[in-house]
Each structure stands twice: as C-alpha cells, then as structure tokens.
Amino acid sequence: MIISLISQKGGVGKSALARLLAVEIAKSGWTVKIADLDPAQGTSTKWKGRRDQAVLQPDIAVEKFRTVERALKEADRYDLLILDGPAHAERGGRDMAAASDLVLLPTGYSLDDMEPQIEAAYELEDGGVAPDRLLFVFCRAKGSDAEDRVARAYLKKARMTVLTPVFPELASIRQAHAEGRAASEVPFSKVQDKVVAVVQAIVDRAGAMAEVT
C-alpha cells in the first residue's frame, strides 16, 4: 500500500502525520517505510535520527529520495510506503498521487491554508487522480467547534472529502516530536486516543481504496 502526503504550503503537518501513521501501522505488525521526499528540510530523516538515538520501538525505516520514481522502487519491499512530500510538489505531487492508494492533503482551518490545498487537489484531479483517493485532514488544528464546522462546510462546497477526526496541535506533541516520538507516543492517554482515531480513520479509507485498485 502507498499513502502520500501532499501540500502547497510548508509546515502544515505532513511529516507529523507521516510519522504518526508509520508508528501506529508498524505497531499493528506491518512493515513500513517513510520516503522523505523533502531533502531540503529532511524533517523525517532527522526525526529518525532522534528516534534511533532514543532507541524507540517500533523501528521505522526512513530514507531520503531525490525523486519520486526512486522512492517508488521501495513499494514492493514494504507493506506500507509513506511518501512524505515537499511543499510546492507540483510535478512530483502528480507522480506521488498517481502511484498512491490514498493521497492525504493536510490543512489548517484558515482560508489561507485551505485555498492552496483545494487548488492542489483540483490540479491532481486534472492530472487524472481519482477524486475519491484525495482526503483532506485537519492538521495542527486548534480552534472552536464553530471554526471546525465552517472549515468543513467550505471544503464540502469545494467537493472535497474531509476526515472526521482532527489531528490537534498540542505542546505535548511538539515535545514528542523533539524526542523522536510520534504524536501517539505522548504520555497522555486522551491525546493518544485522539491521534489514534486519526490513524484508524485513514487506515479504513486506505483499505477501502486499496480494494478497488
């Protein structure tokens, strides 16, 4: 299975979601690799370094790739390959999406965050990616229920599908990241439950998509 994370803007939470998915799905017994396609930042690769230093389990394979094509060669060797893309992934984004069972488009609640992601989604659709493979996820989310409702309504109007659980922005998650952990590896069970719900909903969707491939 291949899941990709794509965004127009940087800092929306792609790499955070990549490591959350990787850790939780690896815990369920799958072999998982994160392809770090953002060599300028190398966020996932640096996180892997901290994770190794802290000797955390499960061990997650992370490797930098300069091209999507090279990363895709790993797909047969793992149960799940996660393509952690760069910002402004115009061309590469299409290649990533075309090869993926599911494409995650992280966004915040602001119009400034949603608009470029909607544009990215339309471009992928124009490039031949099936709309039902595109899934918006509210990431680094902090805001009221009212704000959540307004943002969902906006994306719905743009014909976008949005994951029900949100990936909240929390200091404890920032701290976990600094220690080489994923958001599900914070010491607070309420936070764990919230972010595991995000993974479960994504896995359900990815499973449904993989079946129709």
Among 2, 13, 92, 120, binds ligand ADP (CB under 6 A): 13
Cis peptide before 86 (omega within 30 of 0): no
Q: Are 104 and 137 in contact (CB under 8 A)?
A: yes
Distance of closest approach, residue 120 Cβ to ligand ADP, in angstroms:
12
Nearer to ligand ADP (CB atom), residue 82 or residue 160: 82
Applying the rule CB under 5 A, the residues between 140 and 199 that interact with Mg ion are none
14 binds Mg ion (CB under 5 A): yes
Contact region for Mg ion (CB under 5 A) — 7-15, 21-29, 148-156, 161-169?
Answer: 7-15
CB contact at 8 A, 17 and 104: yes
Q: Does 11 bind ligand ADP (CB under 6 A)?
A: yes
> With CB cut-offs between 5 and 8 Å by kind, which of Mg ion, ligand ADP, none does residue 167 bind?
ligand ADP
Which of the listed partners (ligand ADP, Mg ion, none) does 7 bind, with a CB threshold of 5 to 8 Å by partner kind?
Answer: ligand ADP
d(CA 108, CA 136): 10
| Region near ligand ADP per CB under 6 A, out of 69-77, 124-132, 151-159, 161-169 | 161-169
| Phi/psi of residue 33, nearest 5 degrees | -130, 135
Candidate residues 173, 191, 202, 203; the one interacting with ligand ADP per rule CB under 6 A: 173
Number of residues interacting with Mg ion: please give it, by CB under 5 A: 4
**Cα–Cα dist 91/135, whole Å:** 19
Q: Which of 51, 140, 194, 205 binds ligand ADP (CB under 6 A)?
A: 140
The rounded distance, in Å, linking the Cα atoms of 187 and 61 is 23
Round to whole Å and give the CA distance between 138 and 96.
20
Q: How far is the CB of 105 from ligand ADP (least distance, A)?
A: 11
Q: Please enumerate in sequence order all residues whose Cβ is within 8 A of that of 73, keeping only pairs 6 or more positions apart, or say none.
A: none
The DSSP H or E segment spanning 155 is helix 145-157
Angle, to 10 degrees, between the axis of helix 171-178 and the axis of helix 189-211? 80
Q: Which residues bind ligand ADP (CB under 6 A)?
A: 7, 10-16, 43, 140, 167-170, 173-174, 177, 183
Q: Which residues bind Mg ion (CB under 5 A)?
A: 14-15, 38, 43
